[in-house]
Structure 1
Amino acid sequence: MLRLDGVWKTYRLGAFGTRELTAVRDVSMEVRAGEVVSLIGESGSGKTTIGRMVLGLASPTRGSITFDDVPVGGLRGRALRGYHRQVQGVFQDPFSTFNPVFKADRVFALVRDGFFPSVPAIKWRRRVEAALEGVRLEPADVLDKYPHQLSGGQLQRMLIARALLLDIRLLVADEIISMLDASTRIDVLNLLGDLKTKGLGVLFVTHDLALGTYISDRTVILRAGEVVESGPTDEVFARPQHEYTRNLLAAVPHLHTRWNEPVK
């Protein structure tokens, strides 16, 4: 479904673009239908840059990104809109996505205006309610509310429901639970698991090893823009081959050990 082959992304810096910053180096990976792939790395490792390129918000400097063998980087206008009917992203801070002066369900109206202008209002309302129920939200609890009246978990699930209204095949989930409390995190992760069983592919971008272990079928470890390890999640975490991966796993806190006790 989604494939990255030898992808690089270099930014030009300075007033005259005389300096270069390479954010992504020779990354190759894929996401299949009904599969969750965790892209794990520390801040500044290039995770979000990869997500933006997958969504067509940035173009690779070198290499190719294809969706069903169609190059993504060159899509424009109607072709890009068609791509976004199949591929959507949900990002880290749900509060920044919503305009506080508008009711939160305006995000659904924008989808209707952009993709389904001919759908009657009553029929669209029913579709929105069905999408909300699909992400375990009660429509009466969230519709016609302002963002400040809803929790972060409710807003995040509304954004997932917005993506599902387009009948998408791939979701780029970029740190979507890092700002949520522990119980809500599990709800959102379980929701992604349910969507996976229905055939949705998920690129799950995170810096949290535990979350990646919990949800993903395959894992890609990113360091300074480069893939240092990838494979089935169980194998990557049980038998890490790269020293960086081993160091990451060693740094994970042990809940049964106090901070001032040596880990045995």
Structure 2
Amino acid sequence: MTVSPPDLAGPAATETADRPADAKLVVDAVTVEYHTRKGTVHAVTDVSLDVPRGSTLALVGESGCGKSSLGRAMLQLPRPSSGRVMVDDTDLCALSGSSLKEARKRIQMVFQDPISSLNPRRRVRDIVAEGLEIQGVDGGREEIRRRVDAALEAVGLDPAHAGDRRPSEFSGGQCQRIALARALVLEPEVLVCDEPVSALDVSVQAQILNLLEEMKERYHLTMVFISHDLSVVHNIADRVAVMYLGMVCEVADTETLYRAPAHPYTMLLISSAPTLGGTLADTLGEDSITATSSELPSPLNPPSGCRFRTRCPRATELCAAERPPLTTITPGHQVACHHPLQENR
């Protein structure tokens, strides 16, 4: 595993008394805003999460809810507008230049579209080796070649057959394996996967998910898995954070979230997730819920109070007046709702 130099934390390292002892990745009050000609896009607003070492946290929600923006902010792509992103005791948001470059070896990303995320003009071996060349590796070209071959073999590709070919010669699933090899060749400690199977056929999705689980064990990874597919998340995640319009509305371990969702939006997602037997709610034996509107509000002008209130069948005047805080209702289960579904259980 890659070990960070002692000076990475530097003077910007912050106290860790407020974070769990086993947390590998901590997102603390992160806000991401984009300034456009039409106004400010509030992509992520005051999100705080922690990911225990060796576990997988899933970020779920509709398109446009801020999942990818939060994932990219973890890698400082771009840097968040405010807040902290901690890997162990290192605050990535406080680093720049060579310090940030060195720290990025510890956290890598697999992007959503496996084909467009690879340079079509470069050969696979050069694509996978690029991170090593940027970071610099003791041992020179021979060591780089050895590590590239090892990474390709780890994801199920033959270096002799695949190394000198270009991405256009591979299928979508194979390109995602190449993208995964590119991330793993640096031996990261944290891997952020941004909808890594959404662009793939169902049969290929299962192969990539199994591969991710295998790589997680092999490289001792801590993972953040971004997806809108709750069926996929149910099989791969230890904990799930549900996002709506830039904010986290519920966090719980996977089984608790699926068996006893507390936020109306979480229940809406479960009610609408299709399965072979109907919906995910039917499969899990949950009662369904229907939104009062199918229209997602604009992140340029999000609703006051609870951002889900314009679509929530349980909304009251309190929901418009006050933003509900993320509150613990049972150990490990947090919800941001004035009228949670589980309040009478």
Does the TM-score normalized on the shorter chain lie above 0.5? yes
1:153 is paired with a residue whose SS is: helix
Contact 1:112 1:119 in 2 (8 A): no
Aligned to 1:27: 47
Equivalent position of 1:185 in the other structure = 205
Which string of whole-angstrom CA distances, capped at 9 and with x for unpartnered residues, describes residues 125-155 of structure 1? Answer: 2221111111122223311111111111111
Aligned to 2:79: 59
Question: 1:117, CA displacement in angstroms?
Answer: 5.0
Corresponding position of 2:135: 115
Shift of 1:21: 2.0
* Partners of 2:125 and 2:148 within 8 A in 1: no
Residues 103, 27 of structure 1: alpha-carbon distance in 2 compared, 3 angstrom cutoff: same
How many Å apart are 1:27 and its aligned residue? Answer: 0.8
Q: CA deviation at 1:70?
A: 1.9
Higher normalized contact order (CA 8 Å, seq sep 6+, divided by chain length): 1
1:9 paired to 2:29: no
The separation in 2 between residues aligned to 1:191 and 1:64, in whole angstroms, is: 31
Q: What corresponds to 1:44 in structure 2?
A: 64
Which residue of the partner structure matches residue 218 of structure 1? Answer: 239
Q: Structure 1 CA distance, aligned partners of 2:171 and 2:27? A: 35
Letter in 1 for 2:25: L
CA distance in structure 1 between the partners assigned to 2:278 and 2:270 by the alignment = 15
Distance 2:242 2:132 in 1: 37
Specify the SS of the correspondent of 1:96.
coil
For 1:141 and 1:72, the matched residues in 2 are separated by 38
TM-score by length of 2: 0.70
* Structure-2 change in CA distance of 1:141 and 1:60 (3 Å): same
Name the structure 2 match of 1:227: 248
In 2, Cα distance between the equivalents of 1:257 and 1:120? Answer: 56
1:174 corresponds to: 194
- Structure showing greater Rg: 2
**SS in structure 1 at match of 2:251:** strand
Off by >6 Å, runs of 4+ in structure 1:
none
TM-score calculated relative to the size of structure 1: 0.91
**Match 1:140 to one of 160, 184, 205:** 160
CA deviation string 1:165-193 (max 9, x = no partner): 11100011001111111122111111111
Q: Which amino acid aligns with 2:32?
A: K
- Secondary structure of the corresponding residue to residue 252 of structure 2: strand
Aligned-pair CA distance for 1:83: 1.3
Q: Which deviations, in whole Å up to 9, do the C-alpha atoms of 1:27-86 show, x marking residues without a partner?
A: 111122211110001111001110111001122223222111221112211111111111
Corresponding residue number in structure 2 for 1:156? 176
Q: Determine what percentage of the aligned residue pairs are the same residue.
A: 37
- Residues 57, 239 of structure 2: 8 Å contact kept: yes
Q: CA contact under 8 A between 1:41 and 1:47: conserved in structure 2?
A: yes
